[in-house]
Structure 1
């Protein structure tokens, strides 16, 4: 399938690097607006600042909570999600508690995912759950997809970028095969060039998290002589 630069830009979530100050965050938000990316990745602490810049641009402020380990209690995650929503978040990202995944505590994972998804649905926000696939077996990935499908999360996501490995084509295909078409698949971590991005999209990714969005879109425009 052939994609335009705009098609790809609308799939990209602009991810800031660790250690940025407000000046750099502002620059990245303005880039996200200029390139019309799908969203700007934020923390609960920075989402209000980013939202003020993004307001009216069509670019969503996507706040990630309990990042990157996702081993806060469910109550703490819900509190942080509420704070992010109050600050203007358009989307909420969170991760599964891998301790509970490894313990095969299906009910804990389902309850937590359901509570956060319900909170997002209350305000018509997209929810995104990260599995951190590097640490999981295919069996664990599939039952997490089953839970995500049952509670109707907005997106399932491959990785945080903090594990030794990031998104793989195999994982994107597996996740796409085990969630319905109403749930998006976000490939994140290690996607630094146009070729890798296109492979992930062809495998079924509908959202791409990357720090290299500007470089990727510029490369695409160059190839298309735009």
Structure 2
């Protein structure tokens, strides 16, 4: 996509408005859903316990509700991750951001990592988009490449850079690497540290098609102002 020609609606539909901080109150989650509806973003990404609340708040809008699986460390058992998917879908979620098992990936246990991802994909039954979070701050390039391959083999829809809770977040280099090493039908999501319009547009140019963001209003208002002044 040409990042210089993107309009406000197109960029909004690339944003998953993130409501994942552990201290968020119910009122804050509801305000986040209201903001997401106002800007008509792609989705909100909420904590699992908030899915039903967000689904109700966003009823009648075009904003999807997503949640996280095995978050933020990826170390839950595969059965627990699959169970989280079942609960999330029952509550109305349609997008699932799962953390792969980072320790197993770094240990070279590729079959176990692929099976873990595939169990989440299978549990979704094709109802929810599955995004696999690598948590790249902990991985070297060889491990990132293996994560791309394993996510592809497991049938995931997206690969994602980060949770936003590790020492580092998305980098342009990682997005380029991920885009180059998954098939065209898979998409790349950048998360962690993408807080300005200029930064987001750099990531669009690098190949990201979805973003986890908390600075949604600031980014979209900036783009609207620039387009109005052009």
Q: Shorter-normalised TM-score: what interval?
A: over 0.9
Cα deviations across residues 40-68 of structure 1 (Å, max 9, x unaligned)? 01111111110111123111100102211
Q: Which residue of 2 aligns with 1:149?
A: 152
In the alignment, the residues of structure 2 paired with residue 68 and residue 151 of structure 1 have an alpha-carbon distance, to the nearest angstrom, of 20
What is the number of residues matched between the two proteins?
225
What is the aligned counterpart of 1:22 among 22, 26, 30?
A: 26
Q: Which residue of 1 aligns with 2:213?
A: 210
Cα deviations across residues 9-52 of structure 1 (Å, max 9, x unaligned)? 00001012441111111111011011010010111111111011
Q: Return the TM-score normalized by structure 2.
A: 0.95
Q: Which residue of 2 aligns with 1:54?
A: 58
Using the TM superposition, name which of 169-178 and 48-57 deviates more.
48-57
In the alignment, the residues of structure 2 paired with residue 73 and residue 150 of structure 1 have an alpha-carbon distance, to the nearest angstrom, of 20
Q: Is the 8 A contact 1:134 1:165 kept in 2?
A: yes
Q: Which residue of 2 aligns with 1:89?
A: 93
SS of the residue aligned with 2:123? helix
What is the aligned counterpart of 1:44 among 42, 48, 52?
A: 48
Q: Return the TM-score normalized by structure 1.
A: 0.97
In the alignment, the residues of structure 2 paired with residue 117 and residue 123 of structure 1 have an alpha-carbon distance, to the nearest angstrom, of 7
Whether 1:171 aligns to 2:194 is no
After TM superposition, the runs of 4+ consecutive aligned structure 1 residues lying more than 4 A away are none
Q: Is the 8 A contact 1:96 1:109 kept in 2?
A: yes
Q: Which runs of 5+ in 2 are unaligned?
A: none
In the alignment, the residues of structure 1 paired with residue 86 and residue 127 of structure 2 have an alpha-carbon distance, to the nearest angstrom, of 13
Measured on the aligned residues, the alpha-carbon RMSD in Å equals: 1.1
Q: Which residue of 2 aligns with 1:7?
A: 10
Whether 1:224 aligns to 2:227 is yes
SS of the residue aligned with 1:56? coil
Q: Is the 8 A contact 1:132 1:160 kept in 2?
A: yes
